[in-house]
Chains A and B, each alone.
Chain A
Amino acid sequence: MSKKKIVMPGDVLATAEELTAGDGTFEEDGLIKASRLGEYVVDEKSRVALVTPLTDVPTVLKNGDVVLAEVKNVKNQMVIVDVVHVINRKRGIAGNVNGTIRVSEIAKGYVKEAGTEYRTGDIIKAKVIQVAPSLQLSTKGKEYGVIRALCSVCRSPLEKVNDYLECKQCGNRERRKVAIDYGKGHLNL
């Protein structure tokens, strides 16, 4: 990396022969131009022009993002979720939020059926492992899994007791793949 200069949307950075357009830039009429306010950087190795933003930027899901998601539907071999929030981001999400967790990505150990771990309405903490062509999440690891769930009998919040969840209202017990901070609600939001 070299060359640092503050640029504005529309500033011409280079010709398309010299460099390829990377993050924060676009190509128009054979020229590479900045698309946001930031510092112009050239990745010399790959010959890519980049603008590292000085402003906040839209939240676009990418691999490795830790997110909160709501379980929408549970099938035999997968769970369908809507991502509602990216941890440490204030802004809403730009683009598709509908993703899946395959049964093999629920936990480190073997899970036979997704329905034994997650139920519709659960709020889970998960990691993005694929964005395109479809959004895929994983909850392998102790920091991932359900962080808030409601009793399937009476809809009261479930509390974590040892390795199961218990409803203080009706005494119902359920199991889930829970995250280590289940019910703490401290999200660093």
Chain B
Amino acid sequence: MKSDIKLIDKEGKRLDGRKRDELRPIKIEVGPLYRADGSCYIEWGGNKILAAVYGPREALPRHIQHPLRAVVNARYNMASFSVEDRKRPGPDRRSTEISKVISEALEYVILTEQFPRAMIDINIEVLDAEAGTRCAGLTAAAVALADAGIPMRDIPVACAAGKIDGQVVLDLGKEEDNFGEADLPVAIAPRTDEIILLQMDGHLTVKEFDEAIELAIKGAHVVSELQKKALLAKYAVAKEVKQ
């Protein structure tokens, strides 16, 4: 999609005033839900997303059980009022695909072999959508998993980079997503920088890709620190109060 909107000005300032390597504001809250075994609420720019974890628990129906490890089942869902034109409730092809790639990404970091025949359900509910919901959703899901005490080899985290007006920038906003030239959502295990989710659409040269993925990974590391800060705010502070 091409448009006349100028997405980035001569000084490198974007529509919402951000610099090219700047994230939208991010707020993370740990444990807002009562019934779930672990939960997280994230605001990332205009995105508002809740993630909840149930399990590990007996995998049902039994035929989905794996004899040697837990099955990881993420479900990404958009509330019907979360987008400009009301979305019909329930899964569509897009949310089914996103659920699949997020499940696979999270499965890599969870020590699933500790829970044979069990399943771990991760529910991601997009309440208000702006752009980059899969990255924000995965980031929230990772915090909810840590909140649920589910053993992981790392706390995964996601961030996107993209291309607007021929320039590689971090974390596309709404108009940038609509009118930009490329979007590259990436999720990593931040300690090793292993890439666990990678998608791209649009048009990038190999050189631009190199630049974009480096930028996305750098952004993910910033988000990773916010995840840890939120977890410590709940648990380390709670502990001090107790003592």
**Chain A residues in the interface with B (C-beta under 8 A):** 6, 8-10, 24, 26, 28, 33, 35-37, 53-58, 60, 91-97
Any chain A CB within 8 A of the CB of B235?
yes
Cross-chain pairs A/B with CB under 8 angstroms, 13 sampled: A9-B154, A9-B155, A10-B153, A10-B155, A35-B152, A36-B152, A37-B231, A55-B147, A56-B37, A58-B37, A58-B150, A93-B58, A96-B117
Q: Which of A53, A92, A96, A97 contacts B149 (CB 8 A)?
A: A53
Q: Are B54 and A92 in contact (CB under 8 A)?
A: yes
Residues A94 and B57 in contact in the complex (CB < 8 Å), given A10-B155, A10-B189, A58-B149 = yes
Residues A37 and B146 in contact in the complex (CB < 8 Å), given A9-B152, A10-B154, A94-B57 = yes
Residues of A within 8 A of B150 (CB): 36, 58
Residues of B within 8 A of A56 (CB): 37-38, 147-149
Q: Which of B117, B153, B232 contacts A35 (CB 8 A)?
A: B153
Residues of B within 8 A of A55 (CB): 38, 146-149, 235
Any chain A CB within 8 A of the CB of B111?
yes
- What 5 new A-B contacts, CB under 8 Å, besides A9-B109, A10-B152? A9-B154, A35-B153, A55-B149, A56-B149, A95-B117
Q: Which of A24, A93, A95, A97 contacts B151 (CB 8 A)?
A: A24
CB distance from B186 to the nearest CB of A (A): 18
Tell me what chain B mostly uses at the interface: helix, strand, loop, or mixed.
mixed
Residue on A with the closest CB to B155?
A: A9
Residue on A with the closest CB to B70?
A: A94
Q: Which of A33, A92, A96 contacts B55 (CB 8 A)?
A: A92
CA of A97 to CA of B239, assembled, Å: 33
CB distance from A53 to the nearest CB of B (A): 5
CA of A97 to CA of B55, assembled, Å: 14
Any chain A CB within 8 A of the CB of B13?
no
Any chain A CB within 8 A of the CB of B26?
no
**Chain B residues in the interface with A (C-beta under 8 A):** 37-38, 54-58, 70, 109, 111, 115-118, 146-155, 189-191, 228, 231-232, 235-236, 238-239
Q: Give the one of A9, A54, A58, A60 with max B CB within 10 A.
A: A9
Residues A54 and B239 in contact in the complex (CB < 8 Å), given A8-B228, A10-B189 = yes
CB distance from A135 to the nearest CB of B (A): 12
Q: Give the one of B109, B151, B189, B236 with max A CB within 10 A.
A: B151
CA of A28 to CA of B154, assembled, Å: 12
Q: Which of A8, A28, A91, A92 contacts B155 (CB 8 A)?
A: A8
Q: Are A37 and B58 in contact (CB under 8 A)?
A: no
Q: Are A8 and B231 in contact (CB under 8 A)?
A: yes
Q: Give the one of B117, B235, B236 with max A CB within 10 A.
A: B235
Residues of A within 8 A of B111 (CB): 26, 35
Q: Which of A28, A36, A95 contacts B146 (CB 8 A)?
A: A36
Q: Are A58 and B56 in contact (CB under 8 A)?
A: yes
Q: Are B151 and A26 in contact (CB under 8 A)?
A: yes
Residues of B within 8 A of A28 (CB): 153
Q: Give the one of A10, A24, A96 with max B CB within 10 A.
A: A10
Q: Are B149 and A57 in contact (CB under 8 A)?
A: yes
CA of A10 to CA of B147, assembled, Å: 15
Residues of A within 8 A of B37 (CB): 56, 58, 91
Residue on A with the closest CB to B152?
A: A9
Residues of B within 8 A of A33 (CB): 153
CB distance from B227 to the nearest CB of A (A): 9
Residues of B within 8 A of A6 (CB): 232, 235-236, 239
Residues A92 and B57 in contact in the complex (CB < 8 Å), given A8-B228, A37-B231 = yes
Q: Are B235 and A37 in contact (CB under 8 A)?
A: yes
Residues of A within 8 A of B70 (CB): 94
Residue on A with the closest CB to B189?
A: A10
CA of A58 to CA of B151, assembled, Å: 9
Residues of A within 8 A of B54 (CB): 92
Q: Are A95 and B153 in contact (CB under 8 A)?
A: no
Residue on B with the closest CB to A51?
A: B151
Residue on B with the closest CB to A28?
A: B153
